[in-house]
């Protein structure tokens, strides 16, 4: 097995762990963390293809990962602010009980 | 290869333990470990600057925000563990994730990947990265800056306490 395949298997396993966590838990914070883990697994793929691709000196994989990390940080901040707002209105952060947008 | 396998095993073990535990704080701390493992993978692959960005943003900042959210949304003063959810939901989640994983594994192991294994780790220095960011990708950098500003202002507005209006 080549190292590139090992990297890709690693990232897809991580993606599946994040997906299973996001689908099977109903705590909103854990769902958000699962989504963050899936984003990280996608970043691993960019680095793996940059490392073993034909033109690593161009650095496009690195730049894409940097921008993806910035966007993921913004997403985490907004998501956790939403969780705090939902908790203030409903006193719970279970997903099943947050089923209407009217506060 | 050996180092990569060790990093992958530790990272996946930390991530799966994080989603199996019942204590939210333990989950968050284990996920910090998983993010540190991902940073170690970036270091292994020769992307030092991205590894430091990962440590700064995830291990440093996002973990603190997550811990604050956990503490602010606690039910009362107890450290009661989160109860597990319905078995049906968990089984369906695992079946979906397993199906996606099987598809991905089949695709990865079945594709003829043209790998340049002989060449050494490519070195893109921080200076070159900075020139690339400021030259050809300057527009994207500015847009990310605006996006971060707007997102953080929006987060403050969403999470701020709206005080009751004073009666006139």
Contacts with B129 from chain A: Cβ below 8 Å:
59, 62-63
Residue A103, in any domain of the structure: no
pLDDT tens sequence across A41-97: 999 999 998 888 887 778 888 999 999 999 999 999 999 999 888 888 888 778 877
- The sign of the dihedral angle between the CA atoms of B160, B23, B12, A96 is negative
Tell me the pLDDT of chain B averaged across its residues: 86
Architecture per CATH, domain B1-75, reads as Up-down Bundle (1.20)
In a domain, A28, yes or no: yes
Predicted complex ipTM: 0.90
Could you tell me which chain B residue has the CA closest to the CA of A68? B144
Domain that holds residue A76: 3-97
* Total number of domains constituting chain A: 1
Q: What is the pLDDT of residue B83?
A: 63
The pLDDT of residue A24 is above 80: yes
pLDDT confidence of residue B164: 67
Q: What's the pLDDT score for residue A27?
A: 86
Say whether B45 and A48 touch across the interface (CB within 8 A). Answer: yes
The answer as to whether A102 is a domain residue is: no
Nearest CA in chain A to B134: A63
Return the bridge partners of A27, or none. Answer: A94
> Can you give the pLDDT at residue A34?
93
Indicate which CATH number applies to the domain containing A43. Answer: 1.10.287.3510
List, for chain B, all residue ranges whose pLDDT scores fall below the cut of 50. Answer: none
User: Given this model, what pLDDT does residue B85 score?
Assistant: 65
Q: Where are the domains of chain B?
A: 1-75, 124-160
Between residues 49 and 88 of chain B, which touch chain A (CB distance below 8 Å)?
49-50, 53-54, 57-58, 61-62, 65-66, 68-70, 72-73, 75, 82, 85
Say what the pLDDT of residue B98 is.
Answer: 94
The per-residue pLDDT for A71 is: 93
Dihedral sign, CA of B59, B62, B66, B67?
Answer: positive
At residue B54, the pLDDT reads: 93
Q: Is residue A84 part of a domain?
A: yes
pLDDT in tens, B49-85: 999 999 999 999 999 999 988 888 876 555 556 666 6
In a domain? residue A76: yes
Q: B112-115, long-range: CB within 8 Å, 24+ apart, which pairs? A: B113/A2, B113/A4, B113/A5, B115/A2, B115/A3, B115/A4, B115/A52
Q: pLDDT at position B81, please? A: 62
- In chain B, which residues have their Cβ closer than 8 Å to the Cβ of A12? 101, 104-105, 108
Whether A16 maps to a domain, the answer reads yes
């Amino acid at each position: 097995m080549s190292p590139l395949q090992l990297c890709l298997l690693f990232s897809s396993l991580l993606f599946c762990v994040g997906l299973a966590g996001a689908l099977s838990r109903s705590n909103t914070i854990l769902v958000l963390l699962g989504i963050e883990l899936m984003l990280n697994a996608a970043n691993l793929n960019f680095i793996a293809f940059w490392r073993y691709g034909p033109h690593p000196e161009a650095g496009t994989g690195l730049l894409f990962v940097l921008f993806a990390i910035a966007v993921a940080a913004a997403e985490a901040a907004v998501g956790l602010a939403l969780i705090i707002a939902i908790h203030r209105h409903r006193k719970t952060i279970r997903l099943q009980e947050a089923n209407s947008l009217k506060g | 290869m050996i180092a990569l396998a060790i990093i992958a095993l530790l990272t996946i073990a930390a991530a799966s333990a994080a989603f199996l535990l019942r204590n939210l704080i333990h989950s968050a701390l284990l996920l910090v470990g998983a993010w540190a493992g991902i940073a170690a993978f970036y270091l292994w692959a020769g992307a030092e600057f991205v590894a430091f960005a990962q440590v700064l943003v995830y291990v440093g900042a996002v973990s603190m925000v997550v811990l604050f959210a956990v503490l602010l949304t606690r039910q009362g003063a107890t450290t009661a563990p989160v109860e597990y959810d319905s078995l049906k939901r968990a089984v369906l989640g695992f079946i979906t994730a397993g199906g996606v994983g099987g598809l991905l594994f089949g695709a990865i192991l079945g594709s003829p990947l043209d790998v340049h294994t002989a060449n050494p780790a490519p070195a893109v220095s921080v200076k070159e990265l900075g020139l690339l960011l400021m030259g050809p990708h300057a527009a994207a950098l500015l847009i990310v800056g605006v996006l971060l500003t707007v997102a953080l202002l929006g987060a403050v507005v969403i999470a701020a306490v709206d005080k009751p209006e004073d009666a006139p």
